Amino acid sequence: MNFIEVTAFAALASIFCANIAFAQDPDADTGPPEFAEPLDDYELMMIEFQRYKELLSADSLDEAENSAKRIIEMAIRETGPTSNDTGKALINLAIVQHKTKEFEAAEQNFSVAIDIFEDNENMLSDMLINPLLGLGAAQVGSGKLGLASRTLERAVHISHVNEGPHNLDQIDILEMLAETNLRMGETEDAKNNQDMIYALSVRHFQNNSQKMIPALFRRADWQNRTGYILDERATYRRIIRIIETMAGKNDITLIQPLLKLGHSYFSVDKSRSTTYQSATASTGEIYLKRAVRIAEENPDSDWVLLSKAKLAIGDYYIFRAEQNRARRAYVDAWNILSAEEDRLAERRAALEQITPITNFPIPQFVGKATRADRQMQNSSLREGQIIATYGVSSHGRVIELEIVETTPTDYDDLHRLVQRKIRSQVFRPRYEDGLAVDTHNLPFSHTFYYLQEDLDELREEEAEKAEAKANAR
């Protein structure tokens, strides 16, 4: 599941929590007493709704969908097809449909619920916020990113009207809007969304207090993903200063931001000219060593923290091609994770398979093709693919790279770029019995998009070059 899917599901979870479609007294007896009068339709609907919630929580999605449909039928009989209860029941069904990736059906039901609330309340009713958030999530799922962005912007506006421009409830919407804008390539808009989230956190929590730390972690993660690496480092340093002030310089809560800060030196800032960065890459070792020391010396530390710190500094050394130091750190981690039976699952995940340390993105669109062509379902847009196999050596470097198939074969520049990107990757090598080993025959697949007219033009140019070359003989 990618990041935007996680964000969408988190947003839908907030809708589910808010969409208590048929509220009842939590202290009330939910079951009929012996010899009680028969339950009326509304009480039966209450019971069915409780069942729906339990099924959804248990991920019994087929049964939850059937339950949601029964609730809609009950709501229509009891309160009418255009009642708010029916609108809320439609949201319940749409939530299940989103989870089962029936995005078009989910869109339709969220939209009908929105229409009902607009007719019964008004165009700025706070009842619209949750279904708009759900509709935006469904539109993201079906690839309608432009529509999703407009839907989420409307939800933010309604939130401002009802709760004020600085309310914290809008953060879920802004997170999803940022992810949507980023996927559309609107990096600046996405950054503005995240800046707004951060400003809200600053406004509601005392500056430099522990309450700011979760918001700072989210901000640093975002800065990393969008290439603002220098800003990410500044954010982690701020987290470290807050913890040092509140808890001291050897507190175990320093380990995570120290590891994150050290890891940031694997990356180059893409947001500005930073030619000096390669000369300062060794700075990351300082933070990683400090994290290891705290993990080793703090009495509140445990094997989980210590193994993570050892793995992180091992990754740093493998990245720097300091093989002996990397091996010692990885073997330390292997021994820690082999000490007891309940640690072996973590050892398998961390060391018995390769783990990418660096990641260099490959362009999805070539020639004149853009994300907008895909969003608008341009009939000229075509899908290409590059399939390769490769291995990873015991030193964490790519070996045995072979391009297996390219469709179409005409985009030579992209093919060469893909090979360069794969070869430049650095991995934590796979370990067997405490020793680093080579790993072979790993699959790689990259999907890209191009316009048919671009391909036709490219082939025509190649044909003209071939003809000119033949004539020159």
Q: Are strands 398-407 and 381-392 parallel, antiparallel or unpaired?
A: antiparallel
Is residue 408 reached through a cis peptide bond, with omega within 30 degrees of 0 on the bond before it? yes
Q: The domain that contains 465 carries what CATH number?
A: 3.30.2420.10
402 DSSP β-pair partners = 389
With respect to residue 463, please indicate whether it lies within any of the assigned structural domains: yes
419: containing domain = 371-472
With respect to residue 271, please indicate whether it lies within any of the assigned structural domains: no
Terminal-to-terminal C-alpha distance of the chain? 56
Strands annotated E in 120-253: none
With respect to residue 26, please indicate whether it lies within any of the assigned structural domains: yes
Structure tokens at 412: 């030579």
Nearest 5°: the CA angle 275, 187, 14 is: 130
pTM for the whole structure: 0.76
Q: pLDDT value at position 278?
A: 47
With respect to residue 319, please indicate whether it lies within any of the assigned structural domains: no
With respect to residue 286, please indicate whether it lies within any of the assigned structural domains: no
Q: How far apart are CA 335 and CA 61, in angstroms?
A: 42
With respect to residue 234, please indicate whether it lies within any of the assigned structural domains: no
With tokens 């009495």, the residue in question is: 299
218 DSSP β-pair partners = none
Specify the DSSP class assigned to residue 273: -
Provide the residue-wise pLDDT of the chain in tens; the chain has 473 residues.
Answer: 444 454 554 555 555 555 544 544 444 454 554 545 666 777 888 899 999 999 999 999 999 999 999 999 999 998 999 999 999 999 999 999 999 999 999 999 999 999 999 999 999 999 999 999 999 999 999 888 889 999 999 999 999 999 999 998 999 999 999 989 888 878 888 888 988 988 888 888 866 577 889 889 989 998 888 888 999 999 999 999 999 999 999 999 999 999 999 999 988 776 654 444 444 557 899 999 999 999 999 999 999 999 999 999 999 999 999 999 999 999 999 999 999 999 999 999 999 999 999 888 888 999 899 888 877 778 899 999 999 999 999 999 999 999 999 999 999 999 999 999 999 999 999 999 999 999 999 999 999 999 999 999 999 988 888 888 888 76
Structure tokens at 306: 């210590």
Q: pLDDT value at position 470?
A: 80
Of the residues 203, 225, 249, the one at which a domain ends: 203
With respect to residue 340, please indicate whether it lies within any of the assigned structural domains: no
With respect to residue 272, please indicate whether it lies within any of the assigned structural domains: no
Q: How far apart are CA 208 and CA 241, in angstroms?
A: 8
Of the residues 187, 203, 219, the one at which a domain ends: 203
Q: How far apart are CA 6 and CA 216, in angstroms?
A: 19
Structure tokens at 226: 């969008």
How many folded domains does the chain comprise? 2
Of the residues 166, 182, 203, the one at which a domain ends: 203
Q: Contact 91/131 with Cβ under 8 angstroms? A: yes
Q: The domain that contains 176 carries what CATH number?
A: 1.25.40.10
Q: pLDDT value at position 7?
A: 54
The three-state secondary structure class of 106 is helix
